[in-house]
Amino acid sequence: MILYICEVRMRLSFLQSVRGQATAAISALTLLGLSALPAGAHHPLGNEAPSNFLEGLVSGLAHPIIGVDHLAFVIATGLLAAVTGLGIWLPAAFVVASLIGTGLHLQAINLIGVETLISASVLAFGILLASPKLPHRGWVLGLGAIAGIFHGYAYGEAVIGAEMTPILAYLVGFGVIQLGVAIAAQIIATRTLPNATTESGSPKMNLRFAGFVICGAGAVFLSAVLLG
């Protein structure tokens, strides 16, 4: 009888823990959905291109933060780097690819479906993070680089018509802030959960709940784009 009571209490405690995590995930998803801003608000200086080094740097530092879809993806990048053990390589691949994407935009090379693919990338990384099985490192790295091109292409819109000095400052700014956010997410994940995976090789439940949140946010972003 005593053992039965103890077992019931343990199950109730587990259910309460899961319910609490689910509530936190839903709350975070709601906040992300409510804070999704129109595309025009992604431009830190309104609709004006930066005219000097400082404006370019500030614009670059702000762009990935005020764009909630970009921020969600950068955070997901850091969390997936912790789960897969890719370390700095995944954030670095994304940032380098985003620089290339910005260069494509500045060279007037057109990419189609940019906003759709950005939203889809958030959804995809959320799914990978929420998955009970670890994704293949090569796939994650490749998807991170492909996503980086499209995220970077969108970043390029903010410096169309700017001179070279503010453009370079802008590139430095958004490169540094993305690396910083991704590495911070990775450090938080690894320090709060020293082993980001269970003994069976699955991501820890806390990180999977984070994946559910990011996945939900990606679905919200993608729906908003598809519905216009």
Residue 136, pLDDT above cutoff 60: yes
Residue 167, pLDDT above cutoff 60: yes
Residue 157, pLDDT above cutoff 70: yes
Q: What is this structure's pTM? A: 0.78
CA-based R_g, the chain, Å: 19
- Residues 45-95 pLDDT 10s: 566 788 899 999 999 999 888 889 999 999 999 999 988 889 899 999 999
**DSSP H or E run through 176:** helix 164-192
Q: How confident is the model at residue 204 (pLDDT cuts 50, 70, 90)?
A: low
Half-sphere exposure of 198 (CA within 13 A, CB side): 11
Residue 102, pLDDT above cutoff 80: yes
Distance separating alpha carbons of residues 137 and 42, to the nearest angstrom:
31
Closest by Cα among 183, 175, 178 to 87: 183
Please report, for the chain, the start and end positions of each structural domain, with discontinuous segments joined by +.
Answer: 2-226
Helix (H, G, I), strand (E, B) or coil at 12: helix
Q: Mention every residue, 6+ apart, whose C-beta is less than 8 A from residue 228.
A: none
- Residues 207-220 pLDDT 10s: 788 889 999 999 99
Average pLDDT over residues 115-138: 91
Distance separating alpha carbons of residues 79 and 68, to the nearest angstrom:
16
Contact 61, 174 (CB under 8 A): yes
Average pLDDT over residues 122-144: 91
